[in-house]
């Protein structure tokens, strides 16, 4: 298993499709062809076993956190 930390703008089309498929398999009634729910994340943690995406977390930082130097 390996975990990648990737800015949202660097996610490839194939990875975006894998994220969408994982979300559809994990949550009933998840919107098709969406890789995020309400807000586009700033970066993601993607967990892979071999070439299969098994977990993902989208992170969106709060504006208040940015004031204290957390980008």
Strands (E), 15-51: 43-49
Q: What is the pLDDT of residue 31?
A: 79
Question: How far, in Å, CA of 11 to CA of 1, rounded?
Answer: 19
| In the chain, where the domains are located | 2-67
Question: How far, in Å, CA of 70 to CA of 46, rounded?
Answer: 21
Reported as type and span, the H/E element at residue 52 is strand 52-59
Query: pLDDT (tens digit, 9 = 90+) per residue, 6-44?
Result: 999 999 999 999 999 998 888 888 877 778 878 889 999
Judge whether residue 69 has pLDDT over 80.
no
pTM of the predicted model over 0.85:
no
Inter-residue contact 30 to 24 (CB < 8 Å): yes
């Amino acid at each position: 298993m390996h975990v990648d930390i990737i800015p949202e703008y660097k996610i490839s089309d194939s990875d975006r499709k894998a994220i969408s498929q994982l979300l559809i398999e994990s949550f009933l009634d998840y919107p098709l062809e969406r890789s995020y729910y309400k807000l586009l994340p700033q970066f993601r943690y993607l967990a892979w076993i071999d070439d299969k995406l098994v977990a993902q977390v989208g992170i969106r930082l709060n504006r208040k956190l940015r004031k204290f130097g957390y980008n």
